[in-house]
A and B are shown apart, each in its own frame.
Chain A
Amino acid sequence: MIETDMLSKSFGRLRAVDGVDLRVPSGQIMVLLGRIGAGKSTLLRMLAGYLLPSSGQMRIAGLDLRRQRLAAQRCLGYMPPASALYGDMRVRAFLRFVASLRGLDGLDRDRRMGDIGRRLKLDEVMGVPLSRLPPDWRWRVGLGQALLHEPEVLLLDEPGAGLDDRQRRELHTLLDAQSHGRSVLIASRQPGTAMAGCDRVAVMHRGRVLVDATPTQLLAESRYHGAVSFTAAHAAVARQALARLDGVMAIETDVRSGRTTVFAKPAAAILEPVLATLRALEVGYSEIQLERGRLADVLDQLAAKAEARAA
């Protein structure tokens, strides 16, 4: 369980984290989503015991991080950004170093390292220096060191940074497999991370949590929710015809991708009418899909509203 009460952190006059209340129960994955400077990493660093809060409370597995820091740190695994690992060490030596500092020794340490090696497929790189590993392997090692002691709480800072789509999908699969029964908190600026198997998303902006909701609830807030997008050879013709449909609120065509999006009025279902119209027009459409919504769009909307309120 991860709990924070009115947690704040200031650096001089900058309030990096501002009165954050969070609860992440066991078995739940929460993503802290926000732009650079939103306060996600600072929040994670406080929860990892690296930074002290300016005010507020934080508990890891029921232990107060201020009063029982060492005991709380024994219950958590923290994965910093991939660059923060010791590049001069080989993977085996690095894992052994972290395991020893976590109090694992002898056969127990070897068994845990072997287990992590198998689960994260690290066996083939055990003898390689960390600085020579590509980013996707470095985050595997980072995840491995965080899991060595089977912690109740897992804190991951930007796990998808620097990875391509395939590597990110692999990461999500691995994370999903390793998260069972733990409280997992992931800081990410990539909406794709939030969509992949997490239970809740907390959107952060200027140190505050603006929204704490399920991905489905958040997507429903997107203006793309319920929209229909497609690619057509004669987009202008299609747009003219679709604009006359009852449930259609607006139509946009992205200049770079050539993709047209038809936005629905609230509660209107437009997929069938749009499909029927496109078939009738014979405009050569393809890749048609009903949009669930876009988290990046929700993020922009929430940030704009917060900025307007602040102004």
Chain B
Amino acid sequence: MSAVWQIYRRELGGYLVTPLMAVFLLLFLVLAGVMTFVVGGFYERGQADLQPFFESVPWLFLLLGPALGMRMWAEERRSGSLELLFSLPLRSSQVVAGKFLAAWTCAALALVLTMPIWLIVNYLGRPDNGVIAVGYLGSLVLAGLYLAIGSAASALTRSQPMAFTVAAAICLALLLAGYPPLHDAIAVAFGAAVADAAAELGVGDRFAAIARGVLVARDVVYFLSGMLAGLVASWLALELGRGD
């Protein structure tokens, strides 16, 4: 645990001193504001909830998740510091866990910074705060899933832009998997069974349910197992990289 903690601290420090991190956080907040208040019609809807915000969260993390994930391994490989790290008496799994938790903390920080919107809706009306809390929890696990995918993409390449592109493409595919027009197109091309299977892998419907306050075990298991799969893929890519 101590090794995971040390790596977590170093990585978190690394994120927080990077100007790019500040830029991404600022962009995340500005976009969150625009999507909630302008595009989502926060005031016009006349409802005391955060649905417009939570509808935008999967798209916002499509930017922030891969951005945080891309530097996890690609930068270490490029600079050579991975050599130093793996010459220390550590298990790869400890390094993967430490780095992931640091990136996840940054995603959590981004969500915390949006909490003034929660305060605003409480000031203006009487929202169901339990639903909003579940929505934030869902946003956090969604971010974890995207980050785990970003970690795996980053472990496969030395190039940060490449890692970002691959991770964003996979996350987008997961997001669109249950989207009706795409479902219909897949059904026409490959049959209804394939379209249904693809939709099962989709993030959109599951997250939308959580954002409405509907927390079912199946969705929680989906997000957690997706996260675990991404982390195992990262670990595997690193281990294979040592022997290639």
Query: A residues near B, CB below 8 A?
Result: 11, 45, 48-52, 54, 69-71, 73-74, 76, 78, 80-81, 83-89, 93, 97-98, 100-103, 145, 155
**Other-chain contact of B10, A69, A74, A86, A145 (Cβ < 8 Å):** A86
With A84-B79, A84-B80, A87-B79 known as contacts, the answer to whether A70 contacts B89 (CB < 8 A) is yes
Residue of A nearest to B88 (CB): A101
Indicate whether A101 sits within 8 Å of B90 (C-beta atoms), given known contacts A86-B14, A88-B17: yes
Is B83 a contact partner of A48 (Cβ separation < 8 A)? Answer: yes
Q: Judging by beta carbons under 8 Å apart, are A83 and B83 in contact?
A: no
A101 touches B83 (CB 8 A): no
Knowing that A48-B87, A70-B90, A86-B81 are A-B contacts, what are 15 other residue pairs whose CB atoms are under 8 Å apart, sorted by A's residue number? Answer: A48-B83, A49-B86, A50-B87, A70-B89, A73-B88, A73-B89, A80-B81, A80-B84, A84-B80, A84-B83, A87-B79, A88-B18, A97-B10, A102-B88, A145-B84
Given contacts A80-B80, A83-B80, A101-B3, contact A88 B14 (CB under 8 A): yes
Q: Which 9 A-B pairs have the closest CB atoms?
A: A84-B80, A78-B87, A48-B87, A52-B243, A73-B89, A50-B86, A70-B89, A80-B83, A100-B6
- List residues of chain B with CB under 8 Å of any chain A CB: 2-3, 6-7, 9-10, 13-14, 17-18, 79-84, 86-91, 242-244
Chain B residues whose CB sits within 8 angstroms of the CB of A51 once the complex forms: 242-243
User: For residue B6, which residues in chain A have a CB less than 8 angstroms away from its CB?
Assistant: 97, 100-101
**Alpha-carbon distance between A93 and B80 when the two chains are bound, in angstroms:** 19
**Shortest CB–CB separation between residue B9 and chain A, in angstroms?**
8
User: Which chain B residue shows the least CB distance to A105?
Assistant: B2
Complex interface: chain A residues within 8 A of B3 (CB): 101
Establish whether residues B87 and A84, one from each chain, have CB atoms under 8 Å apart when the complex forms: no
Q: How far is the CB of A135 from chain B (nearest CB, A)?
A: 14
Bound-complex Cα distance A70 to B88 (A): 8
Q: Which residue of A lies closest to B240 (CB)?
A: A52
Contacts of A83 in B (CB 8 A): 79-80
Q: Take A70-B89, A97-B10, A101-B90 as given contacts and tell me if A85 and B243 are in contact as well, using a CB distance cutoff of 8 Å.
A: no
Chain B nearest CB from A7 CB (Å) reads 14
Is A52 a contact of B89 with CB atoms below 8 Å?
Answer: no
Question: What residues of chain B lie closer than 8 Å to A73, measured between beta carbons?
Answer: 87-89
Q: In the bound complex, what is the Cα–Cα distance between A50 and B81 (angstroms)?
A: 11
Complex: A86 Cα to B225 Cα, angstroms: 32
B45 to chain A minimum Cβ distance, whole angstroms, is 44
Measured CA separation A74–B3 after assembly (Å): 14
Neighbouring A residues of B91 by C-beta, 8 Å: 70
CA distance A97 to B90 in the complex (A): 13
Q: How far is the CA of A84 from the CA of B79 in the complex (A)?
A: 5
Report the Cα distance A89→B79, complex, angstroms. 14
Q: What A residues does B2 contact at CB under 8 A?
A: 100
A77 closest partner in B (C-beta): B87
The docked-state distance in angstroms from the alpha carbon of A289 to that of B3 is 56
A102 and B89 contacting across the interface, CB-CB below 8 Å: yes
**Please, how many angstroms separate the alpha-carbon atoms of A70 and B93 in the complex?**
13
Residues of A within 8 A of B18 (CB): 88
